[in-house]
Amino acid sequence: MMVLITYDVSTKTASGQKRLRQVARLCENYGQRVQNSVFECLIDPQQFTELQFELQRTIDPATDSLRFYHLGAKWKGKVEHIGANQNYDPEGFIMI
Amino acid sequence: MMVLITYDVSTKTASGQKRLRQVARLCENYGQRVQNSVFECLIDPQQFTELQFELQRTIDPATDSLRFYHLGAKWKGKVEHIGANQNYDPEGFIMI
């Protein structure tokens, strides 16, 4: 299944900057970065549960946020890209 | 219809910082900011065409990107939020 993950992590403090790196690294383990704070993850339900758990315990819920969008199986027809890096395909490789 | 818009705008230059402000302002006219560079827009197809046109002519396609996710009518069940500002409802008001 395709899950889109977007996040905001407050980087006003050193610990916030560390959380931002940790969140990005976790998402990199499960999906493909498509923008700075946006990942598309082709994962199964168990992987999603693991990832969500890890992300949730990494952020500071007072200042940071995570959003998960379940795009379903027919996600390809739902996504449009304009601008830089538009040849990205989460089922293939990034064309640069 | 619900359209999720995410963007990356390079802010290395003064013109990039101006583009970032312009992109945010355009999105604010049509939807609700849910994260720093993420907007949810409940709009009709004509509004979407207008917004996409305005955004496309605002960005620098060499350095910036826009992504549009068409979440359909049953979008509410597809979105999960964890952390700050989680009482946001795009059909209502942000609860702070």
Q: pLDDT digits over A33-89, tens only?
A: 999 999 999 999 999 999 999 999 999 999 999 999 999 888 888 999 999 986 555
Choose the closest CB to A67 out of B56, B64, B81: B81
Most A CBs within 10 A among B6, B52, B53, hence the mutation to make, goes to B6
**SS3 call for A1:** coil
- A11-20: long-range pairs with CB below 8 Å, 24+: A15/A60, A16/A60, A16/A63, A16/A64, A19/A58, A19/A59, A19/A60, A19/A64
Q: Which residues of B touch A (CB under 8 A)?
A: 4, 6-8, 34-38, 52, 55-56, 59-72, 77-86
Count CB atoms within 10 A of the CB of residue A8: 22
pLDDT for A46 equals: 97
pLDDT for A93 equals: 47
Residue B86 lies in a domain: no
Residue B95 has pLDDT above 50, yes or no: no
| Residue B90 DSSP class | T
Helix ranges, chain A (H): 14-30, 45-58
Residue B8 lies in a domain: yes
Residue B60 lies in a domain: yes
Distance CA B34, CA B1 (A): 17
Q: Say how many CB pairs under 8 Å bridge A and B.
A: 120
Q: For residue A68, what are the domain limits?
A: 2-72
Contact B60, B16 (CB under 8 A): yes
Distance CA B46, CA B52 (A): 10
In chain B, the percentage of residues whose pLDDT exceeds 70 is 89
pLDDT for A88 equals: 54
pLDDT for A2 equals: 95
Residue B43 has pLDDT above 80, yes or no: yes
Mean pLDDT calculated for residue range B36-56: 97
pLDDT for A10 equals: 96
Q: How far apart are the first and last CA of chain B?
A: 26
Each residue of B3-31: b (16+ CB within 10 Å) or e? bbbbbbbbeeeeebeebbebbeebbeebb
Residue B14 lies in a domain: yes
Mean pLDDT of chain B: 90
Annotated binding site of A: 8
User: In Å, how far is A30's CA from the nearest CA of chain B?
Assistant: 18
pTM of the model: 0.89
Which CATH number do you get for residue B38? 3.30.70.240
Distance CA B7, CA B9 (A): 6
Q: Which residues of A touch B (CB under 8 A)?
A: 4, 6-8, 34-38, 52, 55-56, 59-72, 77-86
Residue B32 lies in a domain: yes
Residue B94 has pLDDT above 70, yes or no: no
Hey, what are B61's tokens?
């396609």
Determine whether the interchain pair A67/B59 forms a contact, defined as Cβ–Cβ distance below 8 Å: no
Mean pLDDT calculated for residue range A17-31: 97
Residue B16 lies in a domain: yes
Mean pLDDT calculated for residue range B39-55: 97
Of the pLDDT bands very low, low, confident and very high (cuts 50, 70, 90), residue B62 is very high
User: In Å, how far is A58's CA from the nearest CA of chain B?
Assistant: 11
Residue A11 lies in a domain: yes
| N residues, chain A | 96
- Of the listed ranges A23-32, A84-93, B63-72, the least confidently predicted one is A84-93
Contact A84, B6 (CB under 8 A): no
pLDDT for B93 equals: 47
Of the pLDDT bands very low, low, confident and very high (cuts 50, 70, 90), residue B78 is very high
Q: How many domains does chain A have?
A: 1
Hey, what are B42's tokens?
């409940």
pLDDT for B72 equals: 85
Residue A16 lies in a domain: yes
